[in-house]
Amino acid sequence: MNLFAATELHLPNAELELLAPWPDPLTADLWFRQLLEQTPWQQPQVQLYGRQFPVPRLVAWYGDAEASYRYSGLTHQPLAWTPLLAQIRARVVETAGQALNGVLLNYYRDGDDSMGWHSDDEAELGSNPLIASLSLGGTRRFDLRRKGQGRIEHSLWLEHGSLLVMRGPTQHHWQHQVAKTRSPCAPRLNLTFRLIRSPA
């Protein structure tokens, strides 16, 4: 049983809902500690302007065998679900009301780690993908802007034990980022659950 408040964000051409606390705080503490420890973190290189750069965070990709996924210009075979991640997925699926076959784990070690502007609009996610994004650990700011515009239109704080669900046309019209910050911030994990409809 999970009792949480759901806050809907009212942005045009978007469907966003922030659930918190999700899961309960004690479970969130446990998941955070165990995931930090158990995950074989990697720092892939991305190609930018003909040069290789390490992505500014650590990542891991888990999923069903068919859920190969492209990010940072590379195709990634999923690691097999651990018992813990399978348990978290089951809870997320129950809340989101949709099957999900893969999860990208991001580890932001400090304020220097970040994720640049993007939409989760890869072809293999199909149109109108549901993305369920679980935050654990340090609070970070999550910014939204309309595609083709520079100005941040909305920001929210993603706290320890919160689930942001993005649906409908959100990824067609909006981009999001987790910017670097000079404010001190604790290590943070984010798990974005996805449904890969056609493998990369």
Ligand X SMILES: O=C(O)CCC(=O)C(=O)O
What is the enclosing helix (H) or strand (E) of 90?
Answer: helix 83-96
Amino acid at 179: A
Q: Is 142 in the site for ligand X (CB under 6 A)?
A: yes
Q: Is 113 in the site for ligand X (CB under 6 A)?
A: no
* β-sheet bridge partners, residue 103: 62, 193
Question: If contact means CB under 5 to 8 A according to the sort of partner, which of ligand X, Mn ion, none does residue 190 touch?
Answer: ligand X
Q: Is 133 in the site for ligand X (CB under 6 A)?
A: yes
Distance from chain centroid for Cα 1: 23
**CA neighbours within 13 Å on the CB side: how many for 165?**
18
Applying CB under 6 A, among 130, 178, 195, 196 the residue interacting with ligand X is: 178
Question: If contact means CB under 5 to 8 A according to the sort of partner, which of ligand X, Mn ion, none does residue 96 touch?
Answer: none
Phi and psi at 153, nearest 5°, equal -100, -25
Q: Is 120 in the site for Mn ion (CB under 5 A)?
A: yes
User: How far apart are alpha carbons 200 and 196 in whole angstroms?
Assistant: 9
Applying CB under 6 A, among 18, 23, 107, 120 the residue interacting with ligand X is: 120
Q: Is 101 in the site for ligand X (CB under 6 A)?
A: no
Count of residues near ligand X by CB under 6 A: 12
Question: If contact means CB under 5 to 8 A according to the sort of partner, which of Mn ion, ligand X, none does residue 57 touch?
Answer: none
Are 160 and 32 spatial neighbours (Cβ–Cβ below 8 Å)?
yes
Question: If contact means CB under 5 to 8 A according to the sort of partner, which of Mn ion, ligand X, none does residue 170 touch?
Answer: none
